[in-house]
Chain A
Amino acid sequence: MNETAAMAELDIDPYSAENLHDPYPMHQRLRDAGPVVSLRPYPRVVACARHAEVHTVFNDHATFISGAGVGLTNFNHETPWRPKSLILEADPPQHTQTRAILSRVLSPKAVTLVRATFAAEADALIDRCIEKSKREGRIDGIRDLAQLYPLKVFPDAVGLQVEERANLLLYGDMVFNSMGPRNELLAKSAERVGPVTQWIMQQCQRDQLRPGGFGDQIYQAADAGEISHEQAPMLVRSFLSAGVDTTINGLGNALYALAHHPAEFAKLRADPALARPAFEEALRWESTVQTFYRTASRDTTISNVPIAADTKVLCMLASANRDARKWPDPDRFDIGRRPTGHVAFGTGIHGCVGQAVARLEGELILTALAKRVACIEVAGPHARRLNNTLRALETLPLRFVAA
């Protein structure tokens, strides 16, 4: 029997504006304090900021469950703001069933079928950005590129209508703010999303979805008896919650990384085949989803530190991805690195089910940049959009010089 170890405590609020603006010094303090750290402002939470513990927690889904919510709120005691997700906030055996359907719809094989369309859209969008940059002296890497691309290609693939897609941004912002505390960010998000929630659920209905798209394929699974017809719109909702704001910020953060590391962009230009690993490295270096929680289903330990049943375990993905115990020179953005094992998509049975689509979007945008843009220059100060869970940019002024 291993001896138990004491738990360090730090007076850190991961949701303070300061820490949301620049989380990296906080990550360092948490990693250095120990494998599991309690946070004074949140007595029912423990935090894992190192790679090894985040990996362990995510891969022990029986002990560290998702059904009590993957945010700060503990669904065992508090009511979720919306009906629970059938996949994100679910555990086996129900999770296994819904996960199998989404895995199939979004499999690497399925993704090859949308590749040509996604590639043509990426090339056309980068050309439009180059023209605008020439005409106006700058573009906004977020509004003109990182938002437009996922808002076009992914809802198209799901089979959504073209109108009012900006609603997806408000919904995504709310979903990811809801995983933090009931702070001002959440209150503002909730205010904005109010009228949109009904629109979202309408878009999940079968008659709103193009036959053959990802959304319709969920209903086909219901026709085949794999899930009920009442569950189908709830699974379609998962596409709309998790498939847009995540990739937007993944692309935005990758643009930010490349704009601030011209030598890395030059490497990508010299070898566009690096697009895929470069996107991977951007996900490691500046992880879109910063945090997810699990809930201890029983009294247990993490790295010999006792954890009481019902404790919320804060898994700091972005911190794990910069843990020097795992990555040499972790703060360096290096597209020559092969960051296998980063946890930007999570890991284990809840690992991002849409990761093949996300990687495709990242690869295609970075490939188009590598082939069409000679250099990416910073054209003004960027601004962050604070969110309780996401690392996001509001604006990123850039200049694209045509190749």
Chain B
Amino acid sequence: MPAIVFVHPDGSSQTIAATEGASVMQTATGAGVSGIVAECGGSAMCATCHVYVDPAWADRLATPLANELEMLECTAAERQTTSRLSCQIKISAALDGLVVRLPERQQ
């Protein structure tokens, strides 16, 4: 099972075993990781599952679609170059070890 590392704003981290085919958001909410709200449940409609992908991983993810880019303009915390909606990152074996940082706030 691929492992995903969530880094909280205070620097602490949680490593969660993920299911291939699930999203990073589903992995987080399923394990009760605080800091991912995911109000819309994964439709790229609310921008409350915002994460900063570790720069080492950013280029290894599929490019965001137009609706995700549009929604990234609505994040509560500052948008950075590696900002993504975690509901749009689908987990594969190639993403084993993916590191994402959680923003200060989602709403």
Does A152 sit within 8 A of B, measured CB to CB? no
- The answer to whether A109 and B73 touch across the interface, beta carbons within 8 angstroms, is yes
- The answer to whether B29 and A341 touch across the interface, beta carbons within 8 angstroms, is yes
Q: Which 5 A-B pairs have the closest CB atoms?
A: A351-B43, A108-B74, A109-B74, A341-B41, A340-B29
Q: Which of B14-59 contact A (CB under 8 A)?
A: 26, 29, 37-43, 45-47
- The answer to whether B39 and A353 touch across the interface, beta carbons within 8 angstroms, is no
Q: Taking A340-B29, A340-B38 as contacts, is the C-beta distance between A107 and B70 under 8 angstroms? A: yes
- The answer to whether B46 and A348 touch across the interface, beta carbons within 8 angstroms, is no
From the candidates B29, B39, B66, name the one contacting A100 in the complex (CB within 8 A): B66
Nearest-neighbour CB distance to chain A for B20, whole angstroms, equals: 16
Nearest-neighbour CB distance to chain B for A329, whole angstroms, equals: 17
- Which of A108, A345, A352 has the largest number of chain B CB atoms within 10 A? A108
Inter-chain CA distance A20–B70, complex, in Å, is 39
**A-binding residues in B (CB < 8 A):** 26, 29, 37-43, 45-47, 66-67, 70-71, 73-74, 107
- Which of B37, B40, B47 has the largest number of chain A CB atoms within 10 A? B40
Q: Taking A340-B29, A353-B45, A356-B45 as contacts, is the C-beta distance between A104 and B70 under 8 angstroms? A: yes
Nearest-neighbour CB distance to chain A for B77, whole angstroms, equals: 13
Q: Which residues of A contact B39 (CB under 8 A)?
A: 276, 280, 340, 359
Q: Taking A100-B66, A100-B67, A356-B46 as contacts, is the C-beta distance between A345 and B73 under 8 angstroms? A: no
Q: Which residues of B contact A345 (CB under 8 A)?
A: 40-41, 43, 45
18 new A-B contacts, CB < 8 A, other than A341-B41, A348-B43, A355-B45, are A99-B67, A100-B67, A103-B70, A104-B70, A107-B74, A108-B46, A108-B74, A280-B39, A340-B29, A340-B38, A341-B26, A341-B29, A345-B40, A347-B41, A347-B43, A353-B45, A355-B40, A359-B39
Closest chain B residue to A280, Cβ basis: B39
Closest chain A residue to B34, Cβ basis: A338
**B-binding residues in A (CB < 8 A):** 99-100, 103-104, 107-109, 276, 280, 338, 340-343, 345-349, 351-353, 355-356, 359
Closest chain B residue to A58, Cβ basis: B43
Q: Which residues of A contact B74 (CB under 8 A)?
A: 107-109
Q: Which residues of A contact B71 (CB under 8 A)?
A: 103, 107-108
Inter-chain CA distance A108–B41, complex, in Å, is 15
Inter-chain CA distance A348–B71, complex, in Å, is 15
Inter-chain CA distance A348–B67, complex, in Å, is 12
Inter-chain CA distance A349–B67, complex, in Å, is 10
Inter-chain CA distance A348–B40, complex, in Å, is 10
- Which of B41, B47, B70 has the largest number of chain A CB atoms within 10 A? B41
- The answer to whether A342 and B45 touch across the interface, beta carbons within 8 angstroms, is no
- The answer to whether A108 and B47 touch across the interface, beta carbons within 8 angstroms, is yes
Q: Which residues of A contact B29 (CB under 8 A)?
A: 338, 340-341
From the candidates B37, B67, B107, name the one contacting A103 in the complex (CB within 8 A): B67
Inter-chain CA distance A280–B107, complex, in Å, is 15
Nearest-neighbour CB distance to chain B for A59, whole angstroms, equals: 8
Q: Taking A107-B74, A340-B39 as contacts, is the C-beta distance between A355 and B66 under 8 angstroms? A: no
Q: Taking A104-B70, A107-B74, A109-B73 as contacts, is the C-beta distance between A340 and B45 under 8 angstroms? A: no
Q: Which residues of A contact B43 (CB under 8 A)?
A: 345-349, 351
Inter-chain CA distance A355–B107, complex, in Å, is 15
Closest chain B residue to A104, Cβ basis: B70
From the candidates A104, A340, A343, name the one contacting B37 in the complex (CB within 8 A): A340
Nearest-neighbour CB distance to chain A for B50, whole angstroms, equals: 11
From the candidates A99, A104, A109, A351, name the one contacting B40 in the complex (CB within 8 A): A351
Nearest-neighbour CB distance to chain B for A399, whole angstroms, equals: 32
Q: Which residues of B contact A351 (CB under 8 A)?
A: 40-41, 43, 45
- The answer to whether A343 and B73 touch across the interface, beta carbons within 8 angstroms, is no
Q: Which residues of B contact A341 (CB under 8 A)?
A: 26, 29, 38, 41-42
Nearest-neighbour CB distance to chain B for A257, whole angstroms, equals: 19
